[in-house]
Amino acid sequence: MKSIIPALLLLLCLHSPAKAEEILGEGAFRYRVVDGWAKEALAKVSVKNGHGLAIDAAGRILFLTDDPKNNVIILSPQGELLESWTARMPGAHGLTLVKEGDKEVLFVTDTALHEVRKLTLKGQELMQLPWPESTGLYRKADEYKPSKVLFAPDGSFFVFDGYGKDFVHHYAADGKLLQSWGGTIGEGENQLAHFGPHGGVVDTRDAAHPVVLVCMSDKQEVKRFSLEGKFIDKFAMPGGNPRDAVLWGEFIFIPHLGDQWPKDKTAPGFVSVLDRQNKVISNIGGSAPEYDGSGQLQPVHTVTKAFIHPHGLAVDKEGNLYVAQYASPAAPLIKLERLK
């Protein structure tokens, strides 16, 4: 990631956060940055890069960083520091919260340790998944760099190897490996090119036919697969860099690390909101969505400096937006209030 440093320095020099009164987005998804939210709280703990976010049943904001001193920082919706703890994970990247019975647990991927850990909300380790050596797809652990865990309705889960060899590994709830797909497996669109499956979500809006959404960040597209790993279709997100996907009711939120990333590492980035048909209905911090006569989304670009590299996000019950940002020491975590 050394190549980002000069670009980041330039971006920090140019960056001027959105004014509190600036309205971002369109239609029913318009937002305003909450000025100074959690600033004092984050000053009390060390933060390297903002990576992942989740909101627990109590409404607390769980913020994942790759600083091994404070892997998980827990905040109130008002931005107060509640607690922090470390899992000693220097490459912590993806954070997924899931309910198991009457308890909530976390799944954290680590690109440096080449593993996935299951943890309690207090940081106690419950399970560790090392590199999937038994698949024969890797020569050594260093080739495996998992980026995100996605959960299916039956409790099984998918691990995306977004920084390694671009495979998707499907596990049973108890951690038994069921199947691997993506990467170089299969033909045509069934394969996932590098850099490929960075993040995504299991889309359950059609409960009878859940599908896996795979955010192909540098390919500027989102691919849809069956739970068995069969390619269904895809849709383009030109100009952006879809990093992850968060399901919120009938809508999906997608953070874009920047414009045309990695060609342009100075653009601040934006967040897209998709409707039930996966059409973009709002670009928060980006140009308003436009579709041509054939239904193709036209290239989108950043129009404000509200963000610095949105990497992960969470949406609360009211639709307020929390955004974790990569390579953004000035603002690794921000909150945006949804306007009624």
Give the pLDDT band (50/70/90) at residue 18: low
The count of other CB atoms within 10 Å of the CB of residue 59 is 10
- The residue whose two tokens read 């903002």 is 50
Long-range contacts, 228-232 (Cβ 8 Å, 24+): 228/179, 228/181, 229/168, 229/170, 229/179, 229/181, 229/182, 229/185, 229/186, 229/190, 230/190, 231/186, 231/188, 231/189, 231/190
- Closest Cα partner for 255 from 195, 330, 200? 200
Q: Left (φ > 0), alpha (ψ -120 to 50) or beta: where does 15 sit?
A: beta
Half-sphere exposure of 119 (CA within 13 A, CB side): 25
Higher pLDDT, 340 or 177: 177
Beta bridge partners of 256: 242, 270
The count of other CB atoms within 10 Å of the CB of residue 249 is 10
What integer is the mean pLDDT of 293-299?
97
Q: Does residue 13 have a pLDDT over 50?
A: no
Q: How far is CA 72 from the centre of its chain?
A: 15
Q: Does residue 339 have a pLDDT over 50?
A: yes
**What is the 8-class DSSP label of residue 7?**
H
Would you say 76 and 61 are in contact if contact means Cβ atoms under 8 Å apart?
yes
Per-residue exposure over 92-128, b if at least 16 CB sit within 10 Å of its own CB, e if not: bbbbbbbeeeeebbbbbbbbebbbbbbbebebeeeee
Q: Does residue 141 sit in helix, strand or coil?
A: helix
Amino acid at 64: L
How much is the pLDDT for 4?
47
pTM of the model: 0.94
Kindly report which listed range (73-77, 86-90, 194-198, 238-242) carries the lowest average pLDDT score: 194-198
**For a pLDDT cut of 70, what percent of the chain falls above it?**
94
How much is the pLDDT for 3?
45
Distance spanning both ends of the chain, measured CA to CA = 40
